[in-house]
Amino acid sequence: MPTGSANPTAMLLRLRKNATRADLEAVLKLARELGYETRFLDGGRQLLEARRPEAAGPGAPPDRSRFEDMACVAQVLDAAEARELAERSPDRPDTVVRVGDSATAFPAVFGGGCVSLIGGPCAVEDEGRLTEVAQAVRRAGGTLLRGGAFKPRTSPYSFQGLGAEGLERLARVRAAVEIPIVTEVLDPREVERVGATCDMFQVGSRSMTNFALLREVGAAGKPVLLKRGFAATAREFLLAAEYVLAAGNPNVVLCERGIRGFDDVTRNVLDVGTVAWLKQATHLPVIVDPSHAAGRADLVRPLARAAIAAGADGLIVEVHPDPSEVHSDGAQALPLDEFRRLVRDVRALVDLDGRIFVAPEREPETEREMETIP
């Protein structure tokens, strides 16, 4: 149930042209049952306002869904107030999500004009290599280390990740390099175990509609990186975030990672338009994964630049010193020197926008900026 904003009192339903009398009666009956007063706003009886007298009834999102489920309702339009927790309303500032324990290193900060970078291998594999990547990511300007212990592979015969052993390796590297960790959780039953190691949960593209998982990470209290399903609409993406928010966890970072297209020159189609749209539609931070969008290392840097230019609050990038060694996503892994070039570009673009690049170390030239982080 939403909290923090007044209950909306009105809803606008756009009805389909071919709605029958029986359809209309069903809508009016449901509205009455939910405590709404109704009136048509047009002679064609296609625009129905449903208004609830001041103190009545439950919050609106469940009501809105009931109407959206009716075949004769084409759309439930915005009323005066935001009615879902993820929606941006005029008086709602950006949500700023911090990740990591500031006692050891500077945390990653997403949103509110702050841009942070996540880097690391696709999967946790060799521990020495993971340490090397973590150090390189941090030195280059990344504030979070990525790496999957549990991998959601399209084929059950592909490498599935090291599981519990992977989590242990992540925990050791986290402590040694003093860098916070984001790692994927695939199963609601694993949330507690993964949460004991990570600073941020990753919910992957293939899990975006695993509602049990969304509820579980919502209740777990750590920040969540929610990746867009590769065939999900922007609205479905926001509603997935809504599950986490409604479970009481406000720290959600959305991640656009490319959607399925008809061409195969890139692995997915990076939906930059939706990044720009999301920045208007929601107060939640939005980051981009150029690696899974491109599927090839040589296109990662240009996509990263496009993402930041479109307003993204950060990036998650797959990085590895020797892509030929890895068991998953080697073709898109950025070598370390390329990652450093990418960071340099991102810093310049962020600067151009007057935003703040959140570096992992306090550097003389960023000292003044760090103090202005909300």
Piece in contact with ligand PEP (CB under 6 A), picked from 58-66, 99-107, 162-170, 198-206: 198-206
d(C-alpha 363, C-alpha 374), whole Å: 18
Rg of the Cα atoms in the chain: 22
Look at residue 267 and give the partner it binds from ligand PEP, Mn ion, none, a contact being a CB closer than 5 to 8 Å depending on partner kind.
Answer: none
d(C-alpha 114, C-alpha 371), whole Å: 12
Number of residues in contact with ligand PEP, rule: CB under 6 A?
Answer: 10
Q: Is 122 a binder of ligand PEP (CB under 6 A)?
A: yes
Look at residue 204 and give the partner it binds from ligand PEP, Mn ion, none, a contact being a CB closer than 5 to 8 Å depending on partner kind.
Answer: ligand PEP
d(C-alpha 258, C-alpha 268), whole Å: 5
Q: How is residue 251 annotated by DSSP?
A: -
Q: Is 121 a binder of ligand PEP (CB under 6 A)?
A: no
Least distance CB 328 / Mn ion (angstroms): 6
Structure token digits, residue 314:
């950060």
The 47-51 sheet, strands edge to edge: 37-40, 47-51, 10-15, 73-77
Phi, psi of 181, deg, nearest 5: -120, 135
Q: Which of 15, 34, 85, 122 binds Mn ion (CB under 5 A)?
A: 122
Q: Is 133 a binder of Mn ion (CB under 5 A)?
A: no
Least distance CB 294 / Mn ion (angstroms): 12
Q: Which of 257, 279, 301, 320 binds ligand PEP (CB under 6 A)?
A: 257
Least distance CB 188 / Mn ion (angstroms): 22
Structure token digits, residue 34:
């939910």
At position 212, the amino acid (one-letter code) is A
Q: Which of 112, 113, 152, 163 binds ligand PEP (CB under 6 A)?
A: 152
Q: Which of 141, 204, 285, 314 binds ligand PEP (CB under 6 A)?
A: 204
d(C-alpha 10, C-alpha 49), whole Å: 7
Give the up-direction half-sphere exposure of residue 8: CA atoms within 13 A in the CB hemisphere.
Answer: 23
d(C-alpha 117, C-alpha 138), whole Å: 9
Q: Which of 9, 95, 205, 249 binds ligand PEP (CB under 6 A)?
A: 205
Cβ-proximal residue to ligand PEP, closest one? 204
In contact, 290 and 321? CB cutoff 8 Å: no
Least distance CB 205 / Mn ion (angstroms): 10
The number of beta carbons lying within 10 Å of the beta carbon of residue 3 is: 10
Look at residue 84 and give the partner it binds from ligand PEP, Mn ion, none, a contact being a CB closer than 5 to 8 Å depending on partner kind.
Answer: none
Least distance CB 157 / ligand PEP (angstroms): 16
Binding mask 325-344 for Mn ion (x = CB under 5 A): ----x---------------
Structure token digits, residue 164:
């519990």
Look at residue 64 and give the partner it binds from ligand PEP, Mn ion, none, a contact being a CB closer than 5 to 8 Å depending on partner kind.
Answer: none
Q: Which of 59, 111, 120, 148 binds ligand PEP (CB under 6 A)?
A: 148
Q: How is residue 98 annotated by DSSP?
A: E
Q: Which residues share a beta bridge with 50?
A: 11, 38
Give the up-direction half-sphere exposure of residue 156: CA atoms within 13 A in the CB hemisphere.
Answer: 0
Piece in contact with ligand PEP (CB under 6 A), picked from 92-100, 174-182, 203-211, 365-373: 203-211
d(C-alpha 263, C-alpha 101), whole Å: 42
At position 357, the amino acid (one-letter code) is F
Piece in contact with ligand PEP (CB under 6 A), picked from 87-95, 201-209, 212-220, 354-362: 201-209
Q: Is 279 a binder of ligand PEP (CB under 6 A)?
A: no
Nearer to Mn ion (CB atom), residue 122 or residue 315: 122
Least distance CB 298 / Mn ion (angstroms): 17
Q: Is 320 a binder of ligand PEP (CB under 6 A)?
A: no
Q: CA-based angle 277:282:288, to the nearest 5?
A: 60
Structure token digits, residue 146:
């990525």
3-state SS assignment for residue 199: coil
Interface ranges with ligand PEP (CB under 6 A): 122, 148, 152, 204-206, 227, 257, 289, 292
Interface ranges with Mn ion (CB under 5 A): 122, 329
